[in-house]
Amino acid sequence: MKVVAIIQARMGSTRLPGKVMKEVLSKPLLEYQIERVRRSKLIQQIVVATTTKKTEQPIIDLCDRLKVDYYRGPEYDVLLRYFESAKKYNAEVVVRLTSDCPLIDPIVIDKTISEYLSNMNNYDYVSNTIEKTYPRGLDVEVFSIKALEQSNNEATNPEDREHVTPYIYHHPDKFKIGCVKHRINLSSFRLTVDTEEDLDLIARLIPCLYGQYKEWFSIEDIIHLLQKKPEWVLINSHIEQKEIRG
């Protein structure tokens, strides 16, 4: 089975425009994420799925520099963008990642993929987001190309098409859903980048983590640092995630 990670990325963002290319230690956040995704042992190819807008050129330039494949599709019909990306690169298993997760943990990615691959007769979709026990910013969704194609063919709600997977997990009558959970609940921690406060936290974490662990550290290392720096947790603890309607 060809496992392809598709990272959706665009420069447009209502809360923090250009967030994926914001720099910490002179490196774009998207580059940190790609480096960490590349440490997955189960992902065979990484594709950045961006839009056809001219403003996405910095993302394209980064992909060219890092020799990462990319696909350009509709801005708001992200479901179609995913399906076209998956078909172009012959994906059989799709790993959906969003580009606002610079500290994504490859161990968590592989745990989610393994749960899917080990239970393909039982699941069409597996994620660590249905029951949230991981910090926001470590979100991983894994599903079959068949489930993605069915969603693309059947979903008509704009929310379903913009957010890619709601049609799957809102229809347990059509798709078999699996869930991956952490041994303890870490969902109160926020490690995604959607606001200036989020960026402030990440800009504090990266120098410490990369300084202590060089290029490799796990979610446990991140949480250990935050437990030593409880004041950092407060930086973005008040931020509410934009909910998917419907």
DSSP annotation string for 168-215: HHT-TTTS-EEE---SS--TT-B---SSHHHHHHHHHHHHHHHHHHTT
Mean pLDDT throughout 117-125? 96
Mean pLDDT throughout 147-163? 97
Mean pLDDT throughout 139-146? 98
Looking at residue 241, its pLDDT comes to 64
Mean pLDDT throughout 186-191? 96
Looking at residue 13, its pLDDT comes to 81
Residue 28 has pLDDT above 90, yes or no: yes
Looking at residue 178, its pLDDT comes to 97
Bridge partners (DSSP) listed for residue 125: 143, 177
Under the banding of pLDDT at 50, 70 and 90, the label for residue 214 is confident
Assign a CATH topology to domain 3-187: Spore Coat Polysaccharide Biosynthesis Protein SpsA; Chain A (3.90.550)
Q: Is 160 exposed, middle or buried (0-12, 13-18, 19+ CB in 10 A)?
A: buried
Looking at residue 243, its pLDDT comes to 58
Looking at residue 242, its pLDDT comes to 61
Under the banding of pLDDT at 50, 70 and 90, the label for residue 160 is very high
Looking at residue 215, its pLDDT comes to 73
